[in-house]
Structure 1
Amino acid sequence: MLSFSILGALEIYTEAGQVEIPGDLQRTLVQVLLISERQAVGGEVLINEMWGDSAPDNQTNALQAHVSRLRRRLRALEPERSLSRLTIHPSGYRLAVEDDELDAAQFFRKVQQAEMAMLTHPAEAADLLRSALAMWRGPVFGQLPGGTVCRLAGARFEEHRLRARELLFDAELDAGHHSRILAELHETHISNPLRERFCEQLMLALYRSGRQADALDTYRRMWQHLSEEIGVQPSPSLRRVERAILSHDPALSLGSGRGRLESDLTGARRP
């Protein structure tokens, strides 16, 4: 059985260890097929991803040659497999990969399990999310981001990665670990200065740690950054957290989860 890793540079493993797919064109071909979610990929898409504007005159024959080479390589890695992983269809080429053979699919499954556990078992959800995030070895596809399709997939996966970090901090806060995650949360906020959710979480962690002044200073610096960088004001959600800190709103107390916190802060402003 093979396993494929794309949460970082492309890596392929057999039971005996890591194997190489030589050449950027072959590696790009594998990458596009892996992000297709088991759907067939048209030849024109593959050609554009592999060569871009530098496609050879005999591009169809060149693609078929690379597909044949990859099929032979995969077959050699799994001699016991009866059917080829790489198959040809009227709509293009398809690589058969099960969810437990692809790290990205495992990442999404763990995040989904964590979301289900958030309300009742936040510490367990945090453990699941840390396990999921530990699967990342760097940017998707590493130093070979590929063409438009691969780059868009990489950006989409990176957004899911950031969302998982947001969920992780929500779970840690709900579990009462605000002091423990302060340094990690501050670093994440600094690395993503325009992502307001990390700012909200940092403000809440600081407030619960008895550092109200630092929480408010974090808000003021965020407001200044948003104004100078993109010319906008903080979102209503971020402003509600600032007002709640100023008034020592009980909704900020430990045990107010993400959904409950938003509901309480919104409801507190209604007549």
Structure 2
Amino acid sequence: MTIDPRLNRIVAAQPHPLLFATISGAHLYGFPSPDSDFDLRGAHILPIERVVGLDISDETLEDSRVIEGLEMDIVSHDVRKFFRLLLKKNGYVLEQLYSPLVVQTTPEHAELKQIARGCITRHHSHHYFGFSETQWKLFLKESPRRVKPLLYVYRVLLTGIWLMRTGEIEANLVKLNESFRLPHVPDLVARKSSGPEESILNEADIAYHESEYLRLRRELQAAHDASSLLKTPSAETRSAMNELLLRLRLS
């Protein structure tokens, strides 16, 4: 994906300096449609006077609107909050940190990516179990049933299995399927990418996708059970993250 120059200007206009800014959502997952918005995610650095008082504001900044003709969904956390989320089993922030769709980066972003490898644990599987269940329920609830939530189900489960097996973050469903080779995924991606008119599923296919959903959940559980990943982030990882946070804040 080529980064639209308008995204660079949007990032430059943010109210606080950014540690990094990346693209998440459908563009990261490999199945954007013509009407997909841009999910811009990042970590910003609040000035020290904003974080030492009784009240802390702007820990999370959100902005959803059309900017320079682009439909934007912007979410950014202050670095302290972002680091704390990394120390929990939060797959969202891992995917944002390691997204290859980089709009802005810094040397400290690269440093954080190295440190955060120590935050990847086998218990991140719980994030992907929960996210896939939410998307599956959304898929079943809708009428007519759409391709989009079903693609999210497959994307989330394959990302979780891959993470448990390799310790690597890969959120792009098309790339993941080069290894998993699910025969129905290319057609689903093509239908989602072509626009709304192709995004409705045939009811006859539901039973098949349900069996695949349950099978992949079993695979994720097996990958969790066999994983050699840590159970919790190490003390060294937490210490390195704290040292980086202090440097960012004091600079």
TM-score by length of 2: 0.29
Higher relative contact order (CA 8 A, sep 6+): 2
* The structure with more radius of gyration: 1
TM-score by length of 1: 0.27
Which of the two has greater strand per residue? 2
